[in-house]
Structure 1
Amino acid sequence: MMRLFSREQIKIISLVSMTIGMRTLGLFMVLPIFSIYGSIFTNSYILIGLALGAYGITMAIFQTPLGILSDRYGRKKIMAVGIITFIAGNLISAYPVNIYGLIIGRLIEGAGAVSSAGIALVHENVSPTTRNISDAIIGISIGFSFMIGVIIGPLLSIVINYSGIFIIAAIIGGISFIPLIMIKESKKIKEFSANSGIDKKLMIVSFISFFIYFYMIVFYLYLPYFSLKYVPVSGFYKFLIPAVIIAGIIGLLIARPADKNKTVFFSLVSLVVLLISIPVYFMNPFIKNIYYYYLAVTLFYSGYIISETVFPTLITRLARRDSYGGNLGFYTSMQHAGVFFGAVIAGLLIININRDIPVMVLLIISIVFSIFMLYYVTKFREVYLDTH
Structure 2
Amino acid sequence: MRSGRGNDAGLNAVERQAAYSLSGLFSLRMLGLFLILPVFALYAEELPEVTPLLVGIAIGIYGLTQALLQIPFGMLSDRIGRKPVLIGGLLVFAIGSGVAASSETIYGIIAGRALQGSGAIAAVIMALAADLSREQQRLRMMAFIGISIGAAFALALILGPILNTWIGVPGIFWLTMVLALLGVGIVIFVVPTPKESHFHRDAEAVPAQFGQVLSDPELLRLDFGILTLHMCLTAMFLTYPLALRDLGMDSESHWLVYLPVMLMSMLAMVPFVILAESRRRMRPVFISAIAALMLASTVLYGFSHSLLVMVVSLFVFFTAFNLLEATLPSLIAKAAPGERKGTAMGVYSSSQFIGAFLGGALGGWFHTHFGLEGTFLLCGGMTLAWLLIAWGMPTPNYLSNYLLPVGRLDEQEIGRLAEKLMAIEGVDDAVIIAEDGVAYLKVDLGIVDKDRLEEYAVQG
Q: What residue in structure 1 maps to residue 456 of structure 2?
A: none
User: 1:214 deviation in Å?
Assistant: 1.0
Go from structure 1 to structure 2 and tell me whether the alpha carbon gap of 1:292 and 1:102 turns closer, same or farther (over 3 Å shift): closer
**1:42-75 alpha-carbon deviations (Å, 9 max, x no partner):** 2322222222221111111112222344455554
- 1:56 is matched by which residue type in structure 2? G
Match of 1:298 among 301, 315, 328: 315
User: 1:218 deviation in Å?
Assistant: 1.8
Aligned residues: CA RMSD: 3.5
Partner Cα distance (2:206, 2:166) in 1 = 49
Go from structure 1 to structure 2 and tell me whether the alpha carbon gap of 1:113 and 1:370 turns closer, same or farther (over 3 Å shift): farther
Partner Cα distance (2:115, 2:33) in 1 = 13
**Matched ranges for 1:120-199 at <5 A:** 120-122=127-129, 125=133, 131=139, 137-181=144-188, 182-184=190-192, 186-187=194-195, 189-190=197-198, 192=200, 195-196=206-207, 197-198=209-210, 199=213
2:297 and 2:377 in contact (8 A); partners too:
no
Go from structure 1 to structure 2 and tell me whether the alpha carbon gap of 1:300 and 1:179 turns closer, same or farther (over 3 Å shift): farther
Match of 2:361 among 344, 349, 370: 344
User: 1:321 deviation in Å?
Assistant: 6.4
**Matched ranges for 1:11-22 at <5 A:** 11-22=17-28
Match of 1:283 among 292, 299, 320: 299
**1:175-228 alpha-carbon deviations (Å, 9 max, x no partner):** 123443422255464255772222233444323211111121122223213434
1:71 and 1:323 in contact (8 A); partners too:
no
1:281 and 1:293 in contact (8 A); partners too:
no
User: 1:155 deviation in Å?
Assistant: 3.2
1:64 and 1:327 in contact (8 A); partners too:
no
Match of 1:106 among 102, 113, 116: 113
Aligned residues: 380
Partner Cα distance (1:261, 1:190) in 2 = 38
Go from structure 1 to structure 2 and tell me whether the alpha carbon gap of 1:141 and 1:257 turns closer, same or farther (over 3 Å shift): same
1:18 and 1:141 in contact (8 A); partners too:
yes
Q: What residue in structure 1 maps to residue 227 of structure 2?
A: 210
Give 3-state SS (helix, strand or coil) of 2:49's partner: coil
Between 31-40 and 69-78, the greater mean CA deviation after superposition: 69-78
Go from structure 1 to structure 2 and tell me whether the alpha carbon gap of 1:261 and 1:116 turns closer, same or farther (over 3 Å shift): farther
Q: What residue in structure 1 maps to residue 259 of structure 2?
A: 241
User: 1:385 deviation in Å?
Assistant: 2.5
Partner Cα distance (1:312, 1:15) in 2 = 22
Partner Cα distance (1:157, 1:299) in 2 = 26
- Residue identity over aligned pairs, in percent, reads 22
Partner Cα distance (1:342, 1:324) in 2 = 27
Q: What residue in structure 1 maps to residue 125 of structure 2?
A: 118
Partner Cα distance (1:187, 1:257) in 2 = 41
Partner Cα distance (1:58, 1:206) in 2 = 18
User: 1:173 deviation in Å?
Assistant: 1.2
1:66 and 1:329 in contact (8 A); partners too:
no
Give 3-state SS (helix, strand or coil) of 1:160's partner: helix
User: 1:362 deviation in Å?
Assistant: 1.4
Partner Cα distance (2:397, 2:61) in 1 = 37
2:28 and 2:179 in contact (8 A); partners too:
yes
TM-score by length of 2: 0.70
Partner Cα distance (2:121, 2:224) in 1 = 19
Go from structure 1 to structure 2 and tell me whether the alpha carbon gap of 1:155 and 1:385 turns closer, same or farther (over 3 Å shift): closer
2:269 and 2:320 in contact (8 A); partners too:
no
- 1:31 is matched by which residue type in structure 2? L
2:51 is aligned with 1:33:
no
1:55 and 1:108 in contact (8 A); partners too:
yes
Go from structure 1 to structure 2 and tell me whether the alpha carbon gap of 1:306 and 1:10 turns closer, same or farther (over 3 Å shift): farther
Q: What residue in structure 1 maps to residue 408 of structure 2?
A: none
Unaligned runs of 5+ in 1: none
Q: What residue in structure 2 maps to residue 353 of structure 1?
A: 372
Match of 1:23 among 24, 29, 51: 29
2:236 and 2:376 in contact (8 A); partners too:
no
Greater share of strand residues, 1 or 2?
Answer: 2
2:353 is aligned with 1:331:
no
Greater share of helix residues, 1 or 2?
Answer: 1
Partner Cα distance (1:110, 1:297) in 2 = 27
Go from structure 1 to structure 2 and tell me whether the alpha carbon gap of 1:379 and 1:12 turns closer, same or farther (over 3 Å shift): same
Unaligned runs of 5+ in 2: 1-7, 403-429, 431-439, 441-460
